[in-house]
Structure formats: structure tokens, C-alpha cells
Chains A and B, each alone.
Chain A
Amino acid sequence: MVGWYTLTLVDYAIAGTAIIVSMVVLNKVLRWLGVNREAATGYALILPWLLGFLIWNLGPFIASFYFSLTEYGPLRSPRFIGLDNYVRMFRDDPNFWPVIRFTFLYSLFNVPLGLLGALFTATLLNQNVRGLGFWRTVYYLPAVLPAAATALLWRWLFARSGLINFILRPIYNLLDIEAPSWFTEPRLILPGYIIMGMWGVFGANTIILLAGLKNIPRDLYEAAILDGAGRVKRYLTITLPMLSPSLFYVLIMGIIGSFQAFTVAFFVDHSRRVGTFINVYIYEQAFGRLNGMGYAAALGWVALVIILLFTLLVFKSSPAWVYYEGERAG
């Protein structure tokens, strides 16, 4: 009796063989069309990636736009309804605007706080202190921990009898208030997520900024010191401008990441009365009902446009504050 795993392995083998055959055929066709050997080999070698991109990225990307114009569920074929999903979203869905507001406010606080936190941490790690390698490893640990486990950890920390409330107890006593429950009291849900979002700053962002700091030529600082510039002056006039390309990158990724927040909110269930993150809402619409895929696709496209607008805004502003050494030299 042939098992499922065997059949799956056979499927993989067939797919792999088909891809290899396609690569060979593409190479032959390009050569026959007069493309030089190096280019033909190059195109043949990137064919697997190209196929993957077309089938798994571009195809679904285009299809999702069509689905956003349909009433569609996993159990039934899509039915074209024009712009109804978009009209419903902006006019009739009572959850849409709270979701946008929640996601926007989270990003508004999370992105700058995350950027400043990562910059501060990277600056500390750039000092000549003992055991620097150890500290760098420690600060990078959050980036390698599973997001779901981290979310559960935060849920315990934010429990009424958790560590956060334990630390803040003197303040509660001073103000004569009870320890709050962060994810049931509507006014505390957003701050709770913003604090959790800070966790991300100790990961990849810190390492990127640290690499940027290490790349700043030492002679710039030496020249500044000779000219009598103090530490603050050196930081503001050398460190920040030279680091601005890295800051620009971290900012862009931070905006995209905060608008796409999902995992933490998926595991830390909170009252929906204040809204939730747009990605969580998209998931709920797509899989929480039988015909919500079309509406979820429309929400996805609106989320894309919002992220694109903010990203473009930052790109447009970049000539005013991002300094590229190469451009000046050129």
C-alpha cells in the first residue's frame, strides 16, 4: 500500500524533474533565438525562482484584486459584484474605521518609539565596553524567538497579577488605583500593544543600525574632535547624517511592519470594542465566515494602498534628511 508521504515525495520528484526539463528547454530556446550562452544560462537558472514568483506571488496578487470585486467564499465560486465590497467597507461596516484608527494609532506610536529605541540600543552597543559580543547576542535574541511564544509571554506579563503590574504597583499605590487589566480595559489595550511592539526594536533593527554605526569612518570623528566638537555635536552632525540611510531603511520597514501587525494580536485576545489590527480583521473576515474571502481581499487592497501611501510619503521626504555619501562625492 502506497502511503500519502510516498505520493507526496513522488509529486515533489515530478515537479523537480519538470522544472529541470523546463530550464534545459528555456536554455535551448534562448540559444536558438540567438541569445548569448551566458545570458541564456542565467535566465535558465533563475527560472525556478521566476516560476515561483509568478505562481505564488504575482498570480495570487492579481487574483486577489479580482476577488475583491466578488462575493467569494472557499465553498463556492466567486460572484462578481463590482465595487460593493469597497462601498460596504467605507459606508456600512461599523468595524472598519475603528480597525483603521487602531492600526494607525499603533503605528503612529510604535514606529518612532521603535526607531528611537533601536537607535539608543545600537549606540550603547557601539561603545567600547567589556563583553560586547555577549550583549549583542542578548539584544538580538528577541529576533530569533518564535513570535507566538513571545506573544504568550507578553500575555502573562500583562496579566492583572503579572510582572508589569507588579513593577508599576508603587505608582498604583501612589495614585490609589487598582492594578488594571491591560487587555480588557479599552483605554489600555492600545498602550499595551505599543509596549509589546517595543520588543521588536531589540532585534534586527538594532543590528542594522549597529552595522551603520560601524561603517562611519573614524577619521570624521577625529577631524571633528580636532575642531573642538563635543560629543553631542559629533552625534548630531556626523553620526545621525551618516546613519540616515540605515535609519531610512529601518523607518520604511517599521511602517510596513507595524501596519502588518498580526501574530501578537492573534494570540493575545482583547476586547474588540476598540478595534483590532487590520491584518487580524482581514483574517477574521476571510476565515471566520463562509463568504468573506472577497471582502477580505478588498480589505487587503485598502491596507496595501495605506502602506504604499505612507511609504511613498517617507520616500518623498528622504532627500531632505537622508544623506548618501556617494551622491555628494559624485
Chain B
Amino acid sequence: MQWGHDPKLAQLLDEVQRLKLSRRSVLRRAAALGVTGSALATALAAAPAPARAQSKTRIRLATWAGADEANELQGVIDKVNQEATNFEIVSEPTPADYYVKLQTTIAGGTAADLFWLSQEYIAGYADQGALLDITDRLEGDSRPAANLSDYFEPILRTAQYQERTYGLPWISQPVLLYYNPDLFAAAGIPEPDDTWDWQRFQEVAAQLTDPSKGIYGTAFNGWPPVQMFIWQAGGEVITQDLSSCPVDSPEAIQAAEFYASIIFNEEYAPSEATLQEQGFGEMAKAGKVAMFFGGAADDLDYAHKKDPANARMKVALVPKGPQSRTTFAWTASTVIYAGTENADAAYDALVALTEGIHHWKVVAPRQSLANEETITASVPDKQESAPTIIKAMPDMRSFNIIPRHQEWDEIFWNEFQDPLYHGEGTAQELAQSVRPKLEELLP
């Protein structure tokens, strides 16, 4: 915007508009820039922008973003704020104990207008009346980020509860197989391709393992979740209608036994203690794990560009299971606090911010944005991996979520997975014993 011919005056007025300086700060900056009082008064009187900026509703956004992520997010927010006429988003990142603080602020009635929720929390928060139902607002909204039919259905479902929508997902990252091409080349083994199944994966993992060099073929620690293997075998842990937990079905048992046989298997994977001490992802980055499962947004495939000490890694599709190649997708949504005093502005901010985040995060959970160009534009370093990421998206899905998902998950881990991985029972025994307890928590 042009503010007359005096560049110093133009600079000062731009600062007034952008930074909302106090009267004293304006006078101090004017003195520093050598702008006269009369020129400043005339220009301020003619400038309409500050008055418009003050009429914007302040919308607080709570996130778990760490320092780097929060900086990147601020860039997105700045653009959104610049274009917005009725709101201004203020970021409030809480990298540690996010959910504890979030619950406390909700209990105290001081929660942010918008906040991030990971997939497993949304149904519970919605069930307890903490989230604003945005179904009707979305129906009358023609903006692309509000078009629910564009979202991947399994991902969108995580933001819905009892057929109502409570948030907009901003990421969907399918699990991929990250592999170290240098270790494959050194062992003379062809790199993974779309024909791989889990048997081939195990064979190659064993061939790549070299205990004398501290190199393992692969690594598991409960990640990726056992659900992915159960889905690939054609089973479920919670049915889509949320009516049962068939963890003792033949498909689920087969998958759980398989996972128990590969996790911490010293033939090709590090022990639990080694993983705990050396770090799960860190071992892969250090070139000690030949094949590692990570989310599509992970930086494993370009970490070596940031720091040459990191191993070079490429991506491939997750191996095929007995029935399908279904892969787990981690997703999260931005939701609106039910107690917000600015529901209209918060909703506008939600849609605008979601559009912004969809051009920042990999992968946007929208079919129209699930293409190599958008991924590369969002994260240029993902260019090489983009085709594989796109190929993985049709097979991705998320959990079927219930309101008491944290309790469910705790029981599923403590009374099924943990004892299974430590040889304290067979999958059949543990599944039969845990199923009634899991089903007791269903809505």
C-alpha cells in the first residue's frame, strides 16, 4: 500500500498497521525516523487501516506445536490473518503436556477458541459437549476447505461423532516403509517394490541384519500399530458401527501372532532395551535400521539434507498382508471450543486456517490436494517421495474411534499387546480374556 511520497512516513504507517503500535511507540518511531509531527498527524488521519484492524475478533488457537513447527505455523497464520477481515488468529503453542493443559483450560472455561485434537480424542470431547457442532455451518459454506465430500472419508470420520461434524482434519499421513538404499546396495539386495509381502520383508530384514556392526534389518516397538496388521488380515479391533471388538476373530489372532513374532525379534530387530536407549527413529536416522516404518510427513527421507550425519533413506509402500495393503494413517483435526464467545469468527478462522494448513502439511486429507504438485509445493524436500505417498493414500485408514478411546487403548495395550509381546500368553487366550473388557467401553 502506498502512503504518499515520503518513504519514511510510509514505513512508519505500515508498522502502525501491522504491529498496532501504541501512541507512545508511534511517536518514538517517528522521532527515530525523522518524521515531523504534523506530517504524521495528517497521514494518520487519512489512514483507514488501523481502525479496520482493531475491529477484528481475536481468535485463540491452541496447538501442541514445538518451536520449529510453531514458527512454520505462524507463517501460515500470518497469511490467513492478512486476508481475514473479521478475525485475527493468535497462536498459543503448548508442546508439553498439551492435553493436560487443554482439559484444565476447558474445565476452567478459559480454553482457546480453536484447538488441535488428535484423532482418538475427538469423539470423547464431542461426547462430553466440549466441541462446537459445525455440521450446519459447513453445509452452507462453499469454500474448498469446508467441502466435506473432498475429504478422504476414513480420515473425515475421525472428526465426526454420531453423524455430526466437530472439526476439520488437517493432516493424513499414511504409514510408509522408509529404507536405507546404501545398506541394500552393500548387501546386494534389490530395493523394496510394490510386490513385497511380509514374508519377503522378513527374509530381507534378516539378510540385512549385522549384529557386529549394530545394524538391524528393521525395528518395531508397538509402532506401527497392530491394528494395521489386523486390518491387512481382514480383521477389526472395533467394528465401524462401534458395536463390537472382534479381537479374537481368526483374522485378528493371525495378525497379532505375526506381529508378536516380529517385534523385538533379535533375528532382525533391536531389543526393547536397545530401542529405549538408542531411540526408535534416531536409530533409523543413524543408519542402524535398514527398514523403518514412518508417517508420510516424517523427515526421514530428507533428514540427510539437513544434516549429512543422517542416513539417506527412500520410501516404499508398506508390504502387502494376507487380504490387503491397508495402511494406518495418523490424522488430527482443528476443532472449535463449545464455550467460545465468538463462534462465527472462530468458524471462519477454522475454515481459513485449515485451507492454509492443507498447503503446509503433508499430506492434506483432501482428494483434490492429494497430488505430487501439492505435496512438493508444501514440502519441496518430499518431491522424490511424493509418487509413493500418493500411491499409498487409497489404502490408508484411521482407527474407529469411541468416546472412551483412551481407556480402551490402555486396556488393549496393557492386557493384550504388552503381555503378548513379552510372551505372557497366546494371542487367543489374551484376546478372549480382554474382549469383554474392551466391549464394556463401547458406546
Neighbouring B residues of A94 by C-beta, 8 Å: 414-415
Neighbouring B residues of A1 by C-beta, 8 Å: 20, 22
Contact A95 B414 (CB under 8 A): yes
Contact A287 B276 (CB under 8 A): no
Kindly provide the distance from the CB of A147 to the nearest chain B CB, expressed in whole angstroms. Answer: 16
A95-B414, A290-B406 known; A160+B277 contact, CB < 8 A: yes
Which of chain B's residues 74-123 have a Cβ closer than 8 Å to chain A?
A: 97, 99-100, 103-104, 106-107
Contact A160 B273 (CB under 8 A): yes
Please report the C-alpha to C-alpha distance between residue A292 and residue B274 in the assembled complex, in whole angstroms. 34
Please report the C-alpha to C-alpha distance between residue A238 and residue B410 in the assembled complex, in whole angstroms. 55
Q: How extensive is the interface on chain B, given as a class?
A: 20 to 34
Contact with B along A100-135 (1 / 0, CB 8 A): 000000000000000000000000000000000000
Contact B128 A181 (CB under 8 A): no
Which of chain A's residues 262-291 have a Cβ closer than 8 Å to chain B?
A: 271-273, 287-291
- Among candidates B103, B106, B271, B424, residue contacting A287 with C-beta atoms closer than 8 Å: B103
Contact B99 A287 (CB under 8 A): yes
Neighbouring B residues of A74 by C-beta, 8 Å: 103-104, 106-107
- Among candidates A183, A273, A290, residue contacting B422 with C-beta atoms closer than 8 Å: A273
Tell me if B29 is interfacial: C-beta within 8 Å of chain A: no
Contact A75 B129 (CB under 8 A): yes
Kindly provide the distance from the CB of B22 to the nearest chain A CB, expressed in whole angstroms. Answer: 8
Tell me if A76 is interfacial: C-beta within 8 Å of chain B: yes
Contact with B along A160-177 (1 / 0, CB 8 A): 110000000000000000
Chain B residue with minimal CB distance to A284?
B410
Contact A75 B276 (CB under 8 A): no
Contact A289 B130 (CB under 8 A): no
Chain B residue with minimal CB distance to A292?
B407
Tell me if A159 is interfacial: C-beta within 8 Å of chain B: yes
Q: How extensive is the interface on chain A, given as a class?
A: 20 to 34
Contact B125 A75 (CB under 8 A): yes
Kindly provide the distance from the CB of A54 to the nearest chain B CB, expressed in whole angstroms. Answer: 20
Neighbouring B residues of A185 by C-beta, 8 Å: 273
Neighbouring A residues of B125 by C-beta, 8 Å: 75, 290
Kindly provide the distance from the CB of B272 to the nearest chain A CB, expressed in whole angstroms. Answer: 5
Kindly provide the distance from the CB of A310 to the nearest chain B CB, expressed in whole angstroms. Answer: 28
Contact B407 A184 (CB under 8 A): no
Chain A residue with minimal CB distance to B440?
A92
Contact A75 B277 (CB under 8 A): no
Chain A residue with minimal CB distance to B403?
A290
Tell me if B361 is interfacial: C-beta within 8 Å of chain A: no
Tell me if B418 is interfacial: C-beta within 8 Å of chain A: yes
Please report the C-alpha to C-alpha distance between residue A52 and residue B128 in the assembled complex, in whole angstroms. 32
Please report the C-alpha to C-alpha distance between residue A284 and residue B22 in the assembled complex, in whole angstroms. 46
A161-B277, A185-B273, A287-B99 known; A75+B406 contact, CB < 8 A: no
Tell me if B404 is interfacial: C-beta within 8 Å of chain A: yes
- Among candidates B106, B276, B406, residue contacting A184 with C-beta atoms closer than 8 Å: B276
Tell me if B387 is interfacial: C-beta within 8 Å of chain A: no
Chain B residue with minimal CB distance to A283?
B100
- Among candidates B128, B410, B419, residue contacting A290 with C-beta atoms closer than 8 Å: B128
Please report the C-alpha to C-alpha distance between residue A95 and residue B124 in the assembled complex, in whole angstroms. 23
Contact A181 B277 (CB under 8 A): yes
Please report the C-alpha to C-alpha distance between residue A245 and residue B263 in the assembled complex, in whole angstroms. 55
Contact A75 B404 (CB under 8 A): no
Please report the C-alpha to C-alpha distance between residue A185 and residue B264 in the assembled complex, in whole angstroms. 14
- Tell which of B97, B104, B410, B419 has the most Cβ of chain A within 10 Å: B410
Contact B20 A75 (CB under 8 A): no
Please report the C-alpha to C-alpha distance between residue A289 and residue B402 in the assembled complex, in whole angstroms. 13
Contact A288 B129 (CB under 8 A): no
Contact A75 B130 (CB under 8 A): yes
Chain B residue with minimal CB distance to A92?
B437
Tell me if A73 is interfacial: C-beta within 8 Å of chain B: yes
Neighbouring B residues of A289 by C-beta, 8 Å: 404, 406-407, 410
Neighbouring A residues of B415 by C-beta, 8 Å: 94
Chain A residue with minimal CB distance to B424?
A273
Which of chain B's residues 268-310 have a Cβ closer than 8 Å to chain A?
A: 271-274, 276-277
Please report the C-alpha to C-alpha distance between residue A292 and residue B422 in the assembled complex, in whole angstroms. 28
Contact B276 A183 (CB under 8 A): yes
- Among candidates A75, A181, A183, A291, residue contacting B107 with C-beta atoms closer than 8 Å: A75
Contact B130 A288 (CB under 8 A): no
Please report the C-alpha to C-alpha distance between residue A291 and residue B404 in the assembled complex, in whole angstroms. 9
Contact A73 B272 (CB under 8 A): no
Neighbouring A residues of B418 by C-beta, 8 Å: 271-273
Q: List 15 A-B contacts (CB under 8 A).
A: A73-B128, A75-B103, A75-B106, A75-B125, A160-B277, A161-B277, A181-B272, A181-B277, A183-B276, A273-B419, A289-B406, A289-B407, A289-B410, A290-B404, A290-B406
Q: Knowing that A289-B407, A290-B128 are A-B contacts, what are 9 other residue pairs whose CB atoms are under 8 Å apart, sorted by A's residue number?
A: A74-B104, A94-B415, A160-B273, A183-B276, A185-B273, A273-B418, A273-B424, A287-B103, A290-B125
What residues of chain B have their CB less than 8 Å away from a CB belonging to chain A? 20, 22, 97, 99-100, 103-104, 106-107, 124-125, 128-130, 271-274, 276-277, 403-404, 406-407, 410, 414-415, 418-419, 422, 424
What residues of chain A have their CB less than 8 Å away from a CB belonging to chain B? 1, 73-76, 94-95, 159-161, 181, 183-185, 271-273, 287-292
6 closest A-B pairs by beta carbon, nearest first, are A181-B273, A74-B107, A75-B128, A74-B103, A289-B406, A184-B273
